[in-house]
Amino acid sequence: MTELDTSAHVGQVDVAALVEPDRVHGSVYTSQEVYDQEMDRIFRNGWVFVAHVSEVPEPGDYVTRRIAGEPWIVVRGKDGEVRVLANRCTHRGNRLCNADAGNSSSFRCPYHGWTFSNDGHLAGVPMRDGYGSSFHAVRDAMGLSPAAAVDSYGGFVFASLNPPAITLLEHLGRSTTAIDRLLAVSPTGELNLRAGWMKHDMRCNWKMVMENNVDGYHALFTHASVYDAVKPAKVSHVPSKVEVYVRDLGNGHSEIDYAKEYSRLDEEFIWFGRIRREKLPRYVAAMEEARGPEDTHRAFVVGPPHTLIFPNLFLAEMNVMTVEPLGPGRAIAYTTPALIPGADEVNEKTLRRSEGAMGPAGFLIADDGEIGARNQLGLAAGSPEWVVLRRGTESDITDETGIVNHDKSAETPQRGWWKHWTQVLTGTAAPGA
Amino acid sequence: MSDLTSLGAAAAVPAGAVPAAGVDPALASFIYTEARLADEARYSQWEALWDDDAKYWVPMHPDHDPRVNVSYIYDNRRRIRSRVAQLNSGNRHSQTPPSVLRRLITNLEVVAQDADTTTLAANFVIYEYRFDLTVWAGRYEYRIRTRGGDLKLAAKTVHLVNAGGPVPTMSFLI
Return the CATH fold of A50-152.
Rieske Iron-sulfur Protein (2.102.10)
Domain spanning A173-426, CATH architecture: Alpha-Beta Complex (3.90)
Interface test with A, best of B93, B128, B156, B158 (most A CBs within 10 A): B93
Q: Where are the domains of chain A?
A: 50-152, 173-426
Establish how many alpha carbons lie within 13 A of residue A212's alpha carbon, considering only the half-sphere containing its beta carbon: 26
In the beta sheet, which residues pair with residue A84?
A74
Mean pLDDT, rounded, of chain A: 95
**Interface pTM, i.e. ipTM:** 0.94
Q: What are A194-211's pLDDT values in tens digits?
A: 999 999 999 999 999 999
| B62/B159 Cα distance (integer angstroms) | 7
Sheet containing B150-160, strands listed edge to edge, beginning at the edge strand earlier in sequence: B73-76, B50-58, B150-160, B133-147, B117-129, B100-113
CB-based contact A332 B166, cutoff 8 Å: yes
CB-based contact B131 A225, cutoff 8 Å: no
Q: Which residues does chain B have within 8 Å of residue A359's beta carbon, measured at their own beta carbons?
A: 70, 72
A390 in B contact zone (CB under 8 Å) = no
Which amino acid, one-letter code, is at A328? Answer: P
Residues A35-54: b if buried by 16+ CB within 10 A, e if exposed: bbbbbbbbbbbbbbbbbbbb
Task: Check whether B11 has a pLDDT greater than 90.
Answer: no
CB-based contact A361 B66, cutoff 8 Å: no
Which amino acid, one-letter code, is at A302? Answer: V
Q: How much of chain A exceeds pLDDT 90, in percent? A: 89
Contact B114, B143 (CB under 8 A): no
Please name which of A157, A85, A150 lies closest in space to residue A122, comparing C-alpha atoms.
Answer: A85
Q: What are A313-360's pLDDT values in tens digits?
A: 999 999 999 999 999 999 999 999 999 999 999 999 999 999 999 999
- pLDDT score recorded for residue B6: 44
What's the longest Cα–Cα distance across chain A? 77
Interface test with A, best of B60, B75, B94 (most A CBs within 10 A): B94
Q: What are A366-389's pLDDT values in tens digits?
A: 999 999 999 999 999 999 999 999
- pLDDT score recorded for residue A430: 64
| A195/B69 Cα distance (integer angstroms) | 4
Beta carbons within 10 angstroms of residue B106's beta carbon:
9
Q: What are A150-193's pLDDT values in tens digits?
A: 999 999 999 999 999 999 999 999 999 999 999 999 999 999 99
Q: What are B150-163's pLDDT values in tens digits?
A: 999 999 999 999 99
B44 in A contact zone (CB under 8 Å) = no
pTM for the predicted model, two decimal places: 0.94
The helix/strand count (H/E) of chain B reads as 4, 7
Task: Check whether B7 has a pLDDT greater than 70.
Answer: no
Which amino acid, one-letter code, is at A299? Answer: A
CB-based contact B70 A196, cutoff 8 Å: yes
| A262/B168 Cα distance (integer angstroms) | 35
Beta carbons within 10 angstroms of residue A7's beta carbon:
14
Q: Sketch out chain B's domains with CATH numbers.
A: 2-10+17-160 (3.10.450.50)
Contact B30, B151 (CB under 8 A): yes
| A97/A102 Cα distance (integer angstroms) | 10
CB-based contact B94 A366, cutoff 8 Å: yes
**Chain B residue with the nearest C-alpha to that of A221:** B91
Contact A187, A287 (CB under 8 A): yes
